[in-house]
Amino acid sequence: MKWLELFTVAGATLAAALTVVVLYSLGVRLTAIAGDVRINNTRWVRSLAYACFGFCGLAVLFGIYLIVPYFSR
């Protein structure tokens, strides 16, 4: 068995899952901060939250691109 390839795939899977979870969690937290009425300038916080959600979506789409064999032709 090729252990190095197994650990490489496991590491890449762990890193990708961690990236998606952190980006989504950060987006949710920034959205909650932007919804706070006590903070005056929340436009950049909301924009940053949407950017986190966008990068999270891109990571998911890239994962689907790698998994589906139709796209690799």
Q: What is the pLDDT of residue 12?
A: 92
Tokens of 71: 């796209």
Name residue 3's amino acid: W
Q: What is the pLDDT of residue 35?
A: 85
Q: What is the pLDDT of residue 69?
A: 87
Query: What's the distance, Cα to Cα, between the start and end of the chain in Å?
Result: 28
Q: What is the pLDDT of residue 1?
A: 75
Contacts 24+ apart (CB under 8 A), 67-73: none
**Nearest-angstrom CA–CA distance, 62 and 28:** 21
Per-10-residue mean pLDDT for the chain, 73 residues long? 90 94 96 82 88 96 90 76
**Nearest-angstrom CA–CA distance, 29 and 49:** 8
Q: What is the pLDDT of residue 23?
A: 96
How many domains in the chain?
Answer: 1
DSSP 69: G
Domain carrying residue 14: 3-72
